[in-house]
Amino acid sequence: MRNAGNAGMVILLIVTAVLFFLARGFLGKLEFPTVSNTPPAENGAPSGAVSTPPTGQQPSAPSSPPPPVVVPPAERAGAVIISGVNVGKKGAPSRVTIRAQLGEGESVNVTGWRVQSNKRWFPIPQAVRTYDIVRTNTEGDIVLEKGNTLTLYIGIGSPVGVNFRLNKCTGYLNDRADFPFTLPRDCPLPAADSYQNLSGTCQNYIRSLSRCESPDPEVMNAFPGDAGNACREFVNNFFGVNYCYSSLSGKADFLRNEWYAWIDEFSEVFDPSHDWVRLVNADGKTIDDYTY
């Protein structure tokens, strides 16, 4: 009986071992779901995606807007405008005034531009930039700068034969040519202490002279003696055209803002009642217009 019991125990152990190994192989083939601690991805990103950039890589900066396009003054509407049109009547010349509305350092060449009415057009001519009363002057293109104006007289020629930009000495032209207007008088006047040594009669005459006024030779020659000679020398030196240019032409403010041009080849350009006047650049683009 003891041997039979031992045999039964051995068989039981063998069966238990077989069942253990069979169960182990079966469990190894099973797949169990795993629980992840990673939060679910947003906006459709795959699970487990990382939102931070890789190590050593910085986030890209937002792109800056493109720089503004700078239109050259010659192409920019409103850079040069027609500020006034005056239609001549009873034989008087017509007048057009053009004004530069430019930024600091900007300039625009308007020679060759057109002033166009409903009837016809005429080109803007050349002019002398630095006019000298006693020397030969050569015309060049009219280049307008900030604050410059150009006045065009249509149907009449220049009283001095050329178009020009005003300066501090062109006021002397009032006594030398027949202008339909008075040119600004910016010529220098002597300080009182510069002629206090002259005779009282001479000082009275000096005080009577206006800016850019040429001395009267008859009055000057009437001063007698050495005192008269000293008076004539001072007046002729100080009030002469040459002195004006030599003392002022090198200064930064010698040139004025006003340009003047005369166009005698054309007449009756504008309608006496109403018209549409356009300023057209060299490329045919209308820069400004004026209606009256």
- 150 and 272 belong to one structural domain: yes
- Integer Cα distance of 292 and 271 in angstroms: 10
Residue 259 has pLDDT above 60, yes or no: yes
Residue 22 lies in a domain: no
Q: What is the pLDDT of residue 278?
A: 98
- 200 and 283 belong to one structural domain: no
Residue 177 lies in a domain: no
CATH number at residue 103: 2.60.40.1260
Sequence-separated (6 or more) residues with CB below 8 Å from residue 23:
none
- 113 and 223 belong to one structural domain: no
Two structure tokens written together for 231 = 């008076």
- 245 and 101 belong to one structural domain: no
**Residue 248: which of 127, 145, 132 has the closest Cα?**
132
- Integer Cα distance of 223 and 202 in angstroms: 8
- 108 and 139 belong to one structural domain: yes
Residue 32 lies in a domain: no
- 154 and 272 belong to one structural domain: yes
- 208 and 234 belong to one structural domain: yes
Sequence-separated (6 or more) residues with CB below 8 Å from residue 144:
80, 98, 100, 102, 107, 108, 109, 110, 150, 259
- 97 and 158 belong to one structural domain: yes
- 87 and 206 belong to one structural domain: no
Residue 222 lies in a domain: yes
pTM for the model stands at 0.73
Sequence-separated (6 or more) residues with CB below 8 Å from residue 258:
148, 149, 151, 165, 166, 184
| Average pLDDT over every residue of 141-165 | 97
Domain count, the chain: 2
- 123 and 247 belong to one structural domain: no
Tens of pLDDT, residue by residue over 55-69, are: 656 656 566 676 665
Tens of pLDDT, residue by residue over 245-258, are: 999 999 999 999 99
191/50: higher pLDDT: 191
Q: Which domain holds residue 126?
A: 73-168+254-292
| Percent above pLDDT 90 for the chain | 68
Span of 32-36, 137-141, 196-200 with lowest mean pLDDT: 32-36
Tens of pLDDT, residue by residue over 81-122, are: 999 999 998 888 999 999 999 999 999 999 999 999 999 999
Residue 266 lies in a domain: yes
- 78 and 154 belong to one structural domain: yes
Q: Give whichever of 5-9, 93-97, 236-240 has the largest mean pLDDT.
A: 93-97
- 88 and 164 belong to one structural domain: yes
